Amino acid sequence: MENNLINIVNKFSIEETPLFVESHGNGNINETYKVLTNVQDRSYILQRKNALIFKNIPRMMQNIKSVTEHILDKSENDAVFPIDNLKIYDCRDGKPFVMDNGEFWVLTNYIPYSITFEKAENHALAQKAGKGIGKFHSLLSDFQGELYQTIKGFHDLGYRFKQWDECIKKDKAERLVSVKEEVEKLNKRRNVIARFNKMIESGFLPKRVTHNDTKIGNVLFNNSNEVICVIDFDTVMTSTWINDFGDAIRTFTCTASENEKDLEKVLFDPEMFKAYTEGYLSEVKDALSQTEKENLYFAGIFITFEQALRFLMDYIDGDTYYKIDYPEHNLVRARNQIKLLEELERNECLMREVIENKLNNI
């Protein structure tokens, strides 16, 4: 296996000699490896993109290239996104990926001494991450290019509800009987979520360049806990900033990771919400439209509901989408997200007040 991976790395245009390849990170979709080379502190990230989920990888890579080039052009000498971090290497025939046995491989820089987190460890970290994601949004706010829709209906709850109805009808893995309570908890929220989604999809909120996976694990920090950059651009598409704010709130304000089994540990931390929101708004406040400002408070609830639905659907379907470490993993994740959803709902007023307050005082 390792030899095969080294052969793949050798197809990319890099000067160093790859020596070792080791498994890296804990993504739920792609296979990720760190490649060590003959030059100290010159390592790479090799990824096998999941072609079952990303149906058109060449176009996805085109999205990633256009967006990273736009950032790199604008952020030269910028402390938040220092040049080179996001570079994607072409293979020797000029494409930004290698095809091997029908599989797509991509090579990017490994940033020395970089770290990621599964949950926010302190408020300063959440504040800095908010600033980093806000910076990502503001750097791309004047992007003029076209972006391909990498995954159909990714954050469109109308589309997700169609998948949900089908999933419940088919009950492919015959697990429905064991998750009645969870299904009911989601169904009873359907109308509220659908109404919010309709408002988003109707064009009431501006369409922007969005990351669409702004979870905590996709923000890279250095060992002094300063943000280096946002990573994992696979789902960069056009949608609303609500989605990115929401996914960050889902993960930065929760006292446990999305894999935590003990639901008593899954709580909303209001201080984390304040810190993240302050960092985020300090970068994008002036660019936000009035409708975005008015609807940010619901973003965390919206995306956490969606994530609970997606994990539960995958469990009912028989675990065909997300990687799992044990048979009940998707169910554990779904229950965890439902608990967080309840916590967020209880804090809806608080979130509204904090946003209003920060908008007036930053």
Cβ 265 to ligand GN1 shortest distance, Å: 17
Neighbouring CB atoms inside 10 A of 73's CB total 10
Cβ 106 to ligand GN1 shortest distance, Å: 13
Neighbouring CB atoms inside 10 A of 323's CB total 14
Neighbouring CB atoms inside 10 A of 142's CB total 10
Q: Which of 232, 244, 269, 343 binds Mg ion (CB under 5 A)?
A: 232
Residue 28: name its binding partner from ligand GN1, Mg ion, none (Cβ under 5 to 8 Å by kind): ligand GN1
Q: Which of 50, 133, 213, 217 binds Mg ion (CB under 5 A)?
A: 213
Residue 251: name its binding partner from ligand GN1, Mg ion, none (Cβ under 5 to 8 Å by kind): none
Residue 307: name its binding partner from ligand GN1, Mg ion, none (Cβ under 5 to 8 Å by kind): ligand GN1
Question: Based on CB atoms, which residue is closest to ligand GN1, 53 or 350?
Answer: 53
Which of 294, 305, 333 is closest to 191 using CA atoms? 305
Tell me: does residue 269 bind Mg ion (CB under 5 A). no
Residue 215: name its binding partner from Mg ion, ligand GN1, none (Cβ under 5 to 8 Å by kind): ligand GN1
Question: Based on CB atoms, which residue is closest to Mg ion, 123 or 137?
Answer: 137
Residue 91 — left, alpha, or beta (φ > 0 → left; ψ -120 to 50 → alpha)? beta
Residues facing 35 on adjacent strands? 21, 44
Selected range binding Mg ion among 62-70, 71-79, 232-240, 272-280, rule: CB under 5 A: 232-240
Question: Based on CB atoms, which residue is closest to Mg ion, 232 or 244?
Answer: 232
- Residues lying near ligand GN1 in the complex (CB under 6 A) are found at 27-29, 53, 213, 215, 232, 234-235, 258, 307
Residue 260: name its binding partner from Mg ion, ligand GN1, none (Cβ under 5 to 8 Å by kind): none
Tell me: does residue 317 bind Mg ion (CB under 5 A). no
